[in-house]
C-alpha cells in the first residue's frame, strides 16, 4: 500500500524499486476458456470448454477454472478470459434486492464499513455433505488470497438458479462477513439488507470486496461450500490520508491494486488527465508502466518533452491503418538521471519501439552495425599520445533518433499521446526510434554518409575508423555507436570539424577524453 | 608522460556485483596449483556466472594480465561447475588487489611493431588441445593481445607454438594494414618473437618432415611472409618472453616483476634486442 511516509510509494516499490506486475490478476467469476489438452484423453477432444474463473492455484503459476458442464476444477496456465461475461451472474435479482430498499447516501465509504463491519449473521449450512460432491477435494484447499472483483458484477450465483426456479438469497458481502472464525465450518453468511444495498450503488467508485451469493439450490450450496474458503483477511490499517492512495483493504499482498479503478479511467483518456490530479512531489523510484508514471507531474512533463522533440524531429506521420501493416507497439522507459553526488539531475522519459515484433523482410532487413575494434582504439590512442595530439570526445544527443529509415515501419501511437481526432491511425516512422532492430545500423549509415560527404574516408580494415587527410593535416575519428573520438594534428581545423558535425547533429563537445566506453583515461 | 587507460570503477562494480568487495587479495589471476577441470557439481547460478564472465571479458580491454585466466574459464561457460566458479573468484581476488592497474600508453619515438607469441602445449586436460596467445606492441605500448584454445590438437610443442606464431602473424599483418590506413610510415618489417627454436626454424627452413606435415597451411602462410621479408621471426629465450598463454607462470617468474602497467623497455642485460615487461606502479 502506498504510504505518505515513503513519499506515496508502497513498501514493495521502495524495497525492490519496481512495481509488482498485476497482469496476472483476473476478474473473479468471469467466463474463461482454459487450455485443456493436458487433461484430455484423446487428441480430438475439445481443447477448451467454458469455465468460470475461480482463482489462482496456490502451487502453480496457473488459474483455477471451474467447468460449468462437468463441475470439475481445472488448473491451467493458458486461459482466455472474457472478463465481462459472468456465467453465474444474476444481476437482475441483485437489482431487485437493491431497489426494494432505500439507498443511503454515498457517505458510507468502504473504510467505514471495514472499520465497523456489520455484524455477520451466520446461517448454518443446510446441506453440508453436499460440498463433498465436488470433483476436487475442495475442503483441503488452503486459504487463497482475495480476488479483485468488479463492481458491476458484485454477485456470483449459480446458473441453474433461474432454470430451477430457486429463490436467490444473495449478499455482496457474503464472504467478507465470513472472515469470522465461525467460517471454518461450512456456513453461509448474510448481512442485513440495508447494509447490503448501501454498498451496491457506491461500488461504482470504490473497489469491491470479494462477494458471493448463496443459493438454496444444491449446486449453489456446492459453490458456496467451495467459496467459503475465500476469506477476506481482517483489515486493521488506518484510514487513508494520501490523496492518491485509497484505503488499505487487505493485508494480503495479492489484493487489488490500490488505484485500479482509476487505471481504467486513465487508460481511456490518459493524456486528458487533468493536471490537478497529478502528484506534484518528485518520485524517487523509476516507474515501470505508463500508468505509474503519468500520476506524477515530473514524469508527465518528461514525456511531453520527449514527444515535442520527436515532433520537431518529424519522426513519424499519422497514416490510416491497413491490415497489411505489421504494426509494432511502443512503450515508455523512465530513467532518473543522477549527478555524481546522487542528487537527481533530471527525469528522462524515452519512447521506445517494441522492435521484437518486427518481421525480417517486412520492416527490417539488415541490422548489423559495425563497432570499433579494441586494438584500433589502443593503436589510435598510442599514435595520438606519441604525436602529442589532443583527443576530443563528442557526445551525440539521441543518436538513434537521427537515423533515417529506409524500410516502412508502422508503430502504434504512443501511450498517453494518442491523437484524439485520429485515434485509429498508425505512426509511419521516418526516423528510427530506440528499440527498432535497424536503429543502430540506420544511425551508423547516417553518420558515415555525412562523414564521407565532408571528406573523411572509412578505413578498410576497421569500418568504424574514419580518416581525413589532405597531405599535411590528418584527423582520425573513432565511432562507437554514439560515442565519438576525434583527434588530429591541426587544432583549428579540428574545431571547424566539430562545428560542421554540430550543424548536422545535436552534439556536445566533452573536451578532452576522460571516460570512454567505461574506461577511465 | 603519456596516458593511462584503466577501468578502476568497472572493476569495483564487478566486485560489488559478485559480492566480493571484501575478499582477500591474491597475487596471481590463476592459481598455479589448482586444476579447475575436474568433474564437479554444476554451479547453481549459471546466469550469474555468465554475467560476471561477460564483465571480465570486457575488462581485458585494459588488462592483458587477466586475458589468459578469463579465457580459460570462458571455455566452460556453457556448463559451469563449482571449481570453475572458484577460478572466477580467484580472478576477482586478484582484481581486488590490483584495481588501480591499467595499461600505460607512453610517448615513444619508435613506431615499430613487435609481436610475442607463446603456447601452452596440451594445456587442456579434457581434450589435450593447446592454448596459444600473442601480445603485440606498437613502439612501447601493448595494443593487441589474445589468448585462446587452439582448434586442433597439436602433436608437439613446436606445432602448438607454430600455430600461435601463425595467429600472431595474422594479427601483425592486420595491424600493418591499419597503420597504412592511418598513414603511419612503417620503418621496418615487424618482428615476431617466439620462444620455440623448432618453430623459429620451421618458419625459414623449407623442410617438411613427418611431424609437421599436417600443419601445412600455417606453415605456408608464415613462411610466405618471411620469404617476402614482410615479417621476421626471432627466437627469444623463455625467461624473457611475454607468454600470454601462461601468464600465471609468467607472473610468478622472478625475473619479471608484475606491475600496474604494461610496457616495453629494452632489456638491460640483453643489449636492447630483447624486451621485458617493466613495473610501473602508479600511486594515484
* pLDDT higher than threshold 90 for residue A477: yes
Residue with the bigger pLDDT between A327 and A220: it is A327
- Comparison of pLDDT for A333 and A176, the residue scoring more: A333
Quick: pLDDT tens for A60-110.
888 988 888 888 888 888 898 988 888 887 655 544 444 444 444 444 444
Laid out side by side, the sheet with A79-82 consists of A73-76, A63-67, A51-56, A31-34, A79-82
| Percent of chain A with pLDDT strictly greater than 70 | 63
How many beta-carbon contacts under 8 Å exist across A and B? 88
> Who's near A140: CB < 8 A, 6+ residues apart?
none
Contact A518 B58 (CB under 8 A): yes
C-alpha to C-alpha distances, A71 to A95, A221, A452, A465, B73, nearest whole angstrom: 28, 13, 73, 70, 57
Mutate to test the interface with A, among B1, B105, B146 (most CBs of A within 10 A): B105
Tell me the pLDDT tens digit for each residue of A259-291: 433 333 433 344 444 555 667 666 777 887 787
Judged by CB atoms within 8 Å, which residues 5-34 of B form the interface with A?
Answer: 5-10
A166-170, A396-400, B166-170: which range is least confident on average?
A166-170
Rg (CA), chain B: 19
**Start-to-end C-alpha separation, chain B:** 14
Q: Does B245 touch chain A (CB under 8 A)?
A: no
Convert the pLDDT of each residue in B82-120 to its tens digit: 888 988 999 999 899 888 777 777 777 778 888 888 888
CB contact under 8 A, A386 and B107: yes
Residue A472 contacts B where some CB pair is shorter than 8 Å: no
For B207-223, how does the pLDDT look when each residue is reduced to its tens digit (9 = 90+)?
Answer: 666 666 667 677 678 88
State the average pLDDT over residues A22-49.
85
| Residue whose C-alpha is closest to residue A163's, from A204, A115, A220 | A220
Q: Phi-psi bin for A478: left (phi > 0), alpha (psi -120 to 50), beta?
A: beta
Q: Which backbone phi and psi does A15 adopt, to 5 degrees?
A: -75, -45
In terms of average pLDDT, the best of A115-119, A333-337, B52-56 is B52-56
CA A438 to chain CA mean position, Å: 25
| pLDDT for position B36 | 59
Q: How far apart are CA A373 and CA B174, in angstroms?
A: 12
Q: A333 pLDDT exceeds 50? A: yes
Q: Report the percentage of chain B scoring pLDDT > 90.
A: 14
Residue B247 has pLDDT above 50, yes or no: no
Least confident range from A250-264, A321-335, B142-156: namely: A250-264
State the cell numbers at A322: 491497413
- At B49, is the pLDDT very low, low, confident or very high (cuts 50, 70, 90)? very high
Tell me the C-alpha distance between A464 and A444, whole Å. 9
Contacts with B5 from chain A: Cβ below 8 Å: 378, 381, 519-521
**Dist CA A262 CA A257 (whole Å):** 10
Task: Give the one of A379, A518, A520 whose C-beta lies nearest to B178's C-beta.
Answer: A379
Report how far residue A464's alpha carbon sits from residue A376's, in angstroms, rounded to the nearest whole number: 9
The answer to whether the CB of A190 falls within 8 A of the CB of A121 is yes
Mean pLDDT (chain A) is 70
Q: Grid coordinates standing for B104?
A: 600505460
The pLDDT confidence band at residue B48, using thresholds 50, 70 and 90, is very high
Q: B interface mutation test: which of A374, A375, A513 has the most B CBs within 10 A?
A: A375
**What gap in Å lies between CA A23 and CA A288, rounded to an integer?**
13
- More confident call, B178 vs A183: B178
User: Does position A426 have pLDDT exceeding 70, yes or no?
Assistant: yes
Higher pLDDT, A251 or A31: A31
A59 touches chain B (CB under 8 A): no
Residues of chain B within CATH 3.30.420.10 domain(s) are 106-277
Average of pLDDT values for A386-394?
89
The more confidently predicted of residues A375 and B203 is A375
User: Tell me, what's the pLDDT at A317?
Assistant: 87
State yes or no: pLDDT of A350 exceeds 80.
yes
pLDDT tops 50 at residue A404: yes
Interface contact flag, A518 B7, Cβ < 8 Å: yes
Query: Across residues A430-456, what is the average pLDDT?
Result: 89
DSSP 8-state secondary structure symbol assigned to residue B238: G
Task: Give A131 or B9, the one with higher predicted confidence.
Answer: B9
Residue B257 has pLDDT above 60, yes or no: no
Average pLDDT for A240-246: 42
The predicted-structure confidence for B157-172, as pLDDT tens digits, reads as follows: 888 888 888 988 999 9
Interface with B, mutate which of A378, A384, A473, A488 (most B CBs under 10 A): A378
B4 neighbourhood in chain A, CB within 8 Å: 521
Predicted local distance difference test score (pLDDT) of residue B35? 62
**Higher pLDDT residue, A471 or A151?**
A471
- Residue A389, pLDDT above cutoff 50: yes
CATH 3.30.420.10 describes domain B106-277 = yes
Q: What is the average pLDDT value for chain B, to the nearest integer?
A: 75
Phi and psi at A200, nearest 5°, equal -55, -50
pLDDT at site A85: 84
- Residue A114 has a pLDDT of 45
Amino acid at each position: 500500500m502506498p504510504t505518505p511516509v515513503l513519499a506515496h510509494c508502497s513498501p514493495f516499490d521502495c524495497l525492490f524499486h519496481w512495481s509488482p506486475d498485476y497482469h496476472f490478476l483476473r476478474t473473479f467469476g468471469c467466463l474463461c476458456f482454459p487450455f485443456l489438452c493436458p487433461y484430455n484423453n484423446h487428441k480430438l477432444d475439445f481443447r477448451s470448454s467454458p469455465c468460470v474463473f475461480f482463482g489462482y492455484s496456490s502451487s502453480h503459476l496457473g488459474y483455477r477454472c471451474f467447468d460449468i458442464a462437468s463441475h470439475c476444477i481445472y488448473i491451467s496456465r493458458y486461459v482466455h478470459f472474457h472478463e465481462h461475461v459472468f456465467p453465474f451472474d444474476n444481476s437482475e435479482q441483485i437489482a431487485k434486492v437493491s431497489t426494494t430498499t432505500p439507498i443511503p447516501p454515498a457517505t458510507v465509504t468502504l473504510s467505514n464499513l471495514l472499520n465497523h463491519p456489520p455484524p455477520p449473521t451466520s446461517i448454518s449450512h443446510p446441506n453440508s455433505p453436499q460440498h463433498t460432491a465436488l470433483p476436487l477435494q475442495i475442503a483441503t484447499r488452503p486459504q487463497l488470497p482475495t480476488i479483485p472483483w468488479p463492481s458491476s458484477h458484485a454477485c456470483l450465483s449459480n446458473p441453474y438458479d433461474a432454470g430451477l426456479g430457486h429463490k436467490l438469497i444473495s449478499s455482496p458481502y457474503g464472504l467478507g462477513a465470513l472472515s469470522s472464525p465461525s467460517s471454518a465450518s461450512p456456513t453461509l453468511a448474510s448481512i442485513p439488507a440495508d447494509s447490503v444495498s448501501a454498498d451496491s450503488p457506491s461500488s461504482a467508485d470504490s473497489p469491491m470486496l470479494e462477494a458471493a451469493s448463496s443459493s438454496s439450490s444444491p449446486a449453489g450450496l456446492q459453490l458456496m461450500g467451495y467459496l467459503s474458503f475465500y476469506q477476506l483477511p481482517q483489515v486493521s490499517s488506518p484510514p487513508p490520508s494520501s490523496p492518491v492512495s485509497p484505503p488499505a483493504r487487505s493485508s494480503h499482498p495479492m489484493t487489488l491494486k490500490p488505484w485500479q479503478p482509476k487505471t481504467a479511467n486513465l487508460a481511456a483518456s490518459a493524456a486528458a488527465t487533468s493536471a490537478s490530479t497529478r502528484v506534484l512531489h518528485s518520485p524517487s523510484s523509476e516507474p515501470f508502466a505508463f500508468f505509474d508514471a503519468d500520476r506524477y507531474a515530473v514524469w508527465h512533463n518528461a514525456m511531453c518533452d520527449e514527444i515535442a522533440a520527436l515532433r520537431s524531429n518529424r519522426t513519424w506521420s499519422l497514416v490510416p491503418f491497413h491490415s497489411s501493416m505489421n504494426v509494432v507497439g511502443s512503450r515508455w522507459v523512465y530513467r532518473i538521471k543522477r549527478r555524481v553526488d546522487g542528487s537527481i539531475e533530471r527525469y528522462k522519459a524515452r519512447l521506445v519501439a517494441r522492435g521484437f515484433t518486427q518481421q525480417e523482410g517486412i520492416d527490417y532487413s539488415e541490422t548489423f552495425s559495425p563497432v570499433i575494434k579494441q586494438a584500433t582504439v589502443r593503436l589510435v590512442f598510442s599514435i595520438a599520445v606519441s604525436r602529442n595530439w589532443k583527443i576530443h570526445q563528442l557526445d551525440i544527443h539521441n543518436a538513434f533518433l537521427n537515423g533515417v529509415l529506409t524500410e516502412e515501419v508502422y508503430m502504434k501511437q504512443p501511450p498517453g499521446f494518442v491523437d484524439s481526432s485520429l485515434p485509429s491511425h498508425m505512426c509511419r516512422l521516418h526516423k528510427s526510434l530506440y528499440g527498432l532492430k535497424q536503429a543502430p545500423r540506420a544511425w551508423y549509415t547516417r553518420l558515415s554518409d555525412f562523414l564521407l560527404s565532408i571528406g573523411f574516408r572509412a578505413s578498410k580494415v576497421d569500418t568504424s575508423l574514419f580518416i581525413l587527410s589532405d597531405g599535411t593535416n590528418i584527423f582520425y575519428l573513432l565511432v562507437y555507436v554514439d560515442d565519438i573520438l576525434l583527434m588530429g594534428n591541426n587544432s583549428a581545423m579540428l574545431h571547424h570539424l566539430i562545428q560542421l558535425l554540430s550543424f548536422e547533429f545535436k552534439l556536445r563537445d566533452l573536451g578532452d577524453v576522460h571516460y570512454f566506453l567505461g574506461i577511465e583515461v | 608522460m603519456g596516458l593511462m587507460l584503466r577501468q578502476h570503477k568497472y572493476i569495483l562494480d564487478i566486485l560489488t556485483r559478485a559480492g566480493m568487495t571484501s575478499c582477500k587479495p591474491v597475487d596471481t589471476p590463476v592459481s598455479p596449483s589448482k586444476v579447475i577441470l575436474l568433474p564437479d557439481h554444476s554451479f547453481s547460478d549459471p546466469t550469474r556466472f555468465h554475467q560476471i564472465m561477460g564483465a571480465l571479458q570486457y575488462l581485458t580491454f585494459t588488462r592483458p594480465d587477466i586475458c589468459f585466466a578469463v579465457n580459460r574459464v570462458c571455455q566452460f561457460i556453457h556448463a559451469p561447475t563449482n571449481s570453475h566458479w572458484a577460478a572466477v573468484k580467484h580472478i576477482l581476488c586478484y582484481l581486488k588487489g590490483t584495481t588501480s592497474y591499467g595499461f600505460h600508453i607512453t610517448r615513444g619515438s619508435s613506431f615499430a611493431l613487435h609481436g610475442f607469441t607463446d603456447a601452452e602445449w596440451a594445456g587442456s586436460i579434457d581434450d589435450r588441445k593447446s592454448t596459444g596467445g600473442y601480445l603485440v606492441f606498437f613502439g612501447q605500448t601493448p595494443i593487441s593481445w589474445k589468448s585462446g584454445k587452439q582448434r586442433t590438437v597439436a602433436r608437439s610443442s613446436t606445432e602448438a607454438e607454430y600455430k600461435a606464431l601463425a595467429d600472431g602473424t595474422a594479427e601483425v599483418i592486420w595491424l600493418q594494414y591499419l597503420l597504412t590506413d592511418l598513414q603511419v610510415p612503417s620503418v621496418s618489417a615487424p618482428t615476431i618473437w617466439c620462444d620455440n627454436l623448432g618453430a623459429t626454424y620451421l618458419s625459414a627452413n623449407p623442410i617438411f618432415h613427418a611431424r609437421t606435415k599436417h600443419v601445412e597451411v600455417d606453415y605456408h602462410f608464415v613462411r610466405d611472409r618471411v620469404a617476402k621479408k614482410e615479417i621476421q621471426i626471432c627466437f627469444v629465450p623463455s625467461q624473457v618472453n611475454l607468454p600470454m598463454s601462461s601468464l600465471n607462470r609468467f607472473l610468478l617468474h622472478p625475473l619479471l616483476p608484475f606491475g600496474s602497467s604494461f610496457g616495453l623497455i629494452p632489456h638491460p642485460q640483453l643489449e636492447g634486442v630483447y624486451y621485458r615487461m617493466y613495473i610501473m606502479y602508479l600511486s594515484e
